[in-house]
A and B are shown apart, each in its own frame.
Chain A
Amino acid sequence: EAGVTQFPSHSVIEKGQTVTLRCDPISGHDNLYWYRRVMGKEIKFLLHFVKESKQDESGMPNNRFLAERTGGTYSTLKVQPAELEDSGVYFCASSQGEQYFGPGTRLTVT
């Protein structure tokens, strides 16, 4: 069984540019979560999808972040425009019980 995959593994962009991160959950998992770890701090929750619906987006930092989950399959997280403080590692997890995490996308905004 394939695990959670994320693309790209690493992205370096300039301040003001746009970046889109992608997460492919484990097939059949209705729940999809986005988290991020900034500057070696704790991993923080961003949002939670149940199928294609946003169940909880209380962790989204501001309106520069837009998450979608078309058809309840893969999800994208777009940052537009990116700021320096958006640098960090963005993790995706999917679950039907236990949360299984992807390897993360390391975003560097210069």
Chain B
Amino acid sequence: AQSVAQPEDQVNVAEGNPLTVKCTYSVSGNPYLFWYVQYPNRGLQFLLKYITGDNLVKGSYGFEAEFNKSQTSFHLKKPSALVSDSALYFCALTHNTGKLIFGQGTTLQVKP
């Protein structure tokens, strides 16, 4: 069965520090992996995706994610966090079906 896990309910970082939001997945075959962000009272916004190719994927707002097949992980990273990055982040996968399978979400809190 396909699944996505986000082991941290909340991540707290200080502004200017690097941030990592963790995601691991389980799927048979090659996954398509995504990160979405939800700001308060807004819909989910696409950040980045991994389909194939380079393991380091760059996305919107300075975010990037590293696909690690051996560890079945797709952690979201940013070198220097901003207070405005505070939001709810979802990792998701799809496997040729179109429908997305999401993790539980991680709240990122960036403090000034």
Inter-chain CB contacts under 8 Å: number: 52
Residues of chain A in range 18-46 having any CB-CB distance to chain B below 8 Å: 31, 33, 35, 37, 40-45
Q: How far is the CA of A11 from the CA of B10 in the complex (A)?
A: 28
Interface flags, A93-110, vs B, CB<8A=1, else 0: 101001111111000000
Q: How distant is B88 from chain A, measured CB to nearest CB, in Å?
A: 10
Residues in A with CB closer than 8 Å to B102 are 35, 42-44
Q: How distant is B24 from chain A, measured CB to nearest CB, in Å?
A: 13
A4 interfacial contact with B, CB 8 Å: yes
Q: How distant is B16 from chain A, measured CB to nearest CB, in Å?
A: 29
Q: How many residues of B contact A (CB 8 A)?
A: 20
Main secondary structure of the interface of A (DSSP, over half): strand
A59 interfacial contact with B, CB 8 Å: yes
Residues in B with CB closer than 8 Å to A101 are 36, 43-45
B98 interfacial contact with A, CB 8 Å: yes
Residues of chain A in range 63-110 having any CB-CB distance to chain B below 8 Å: 91, 93, 95, 98-104
- If A45-B101, A59-B99 touch, whether A103 touches B36 (CB-CB below 8 Å) is no
Whether B43 contacts A33 by the Cβ 8 Å rule is no
Whether A91 contacts B44 by the Cβ 8 Å rule is yes
Whether A99 contacts B43 by the Cβ 8 Å rule is no
B103 interfacial contact with A, CB 8 Å: yes
Q: How distant is A47 from chain B, measured CB to nearest CB, in Å?
A: 9
Q: How far is the CA of A103 from the CA of B38 in the complex (A)?
A: 9
* Further pairs besides A43-B102, A98-B46: 14, Cβ < 8 Å: A3-B43, A4-B43, A33-B98, A35-B102, A40-B105, A41-B104, A45-B100, A48-B99, A55-B98, A56-B98, A91-B43, A98-B49, A99-B100, A101-B45
A-B contacts, 23 of them at CB < 8 A, read A3-B43, A31-B98, A33-B98, A35-B102, A40-B104, A42-B4, A42-B102, A43-B44, A43-B90, A43-B92, A43-B105, A45-B100, A48-B98, A55-B98, A56-B97, A56-B99, A59-B99, A95-B98, A98-B49, A101-B44, A103-B41, A103-B43, A104-B43
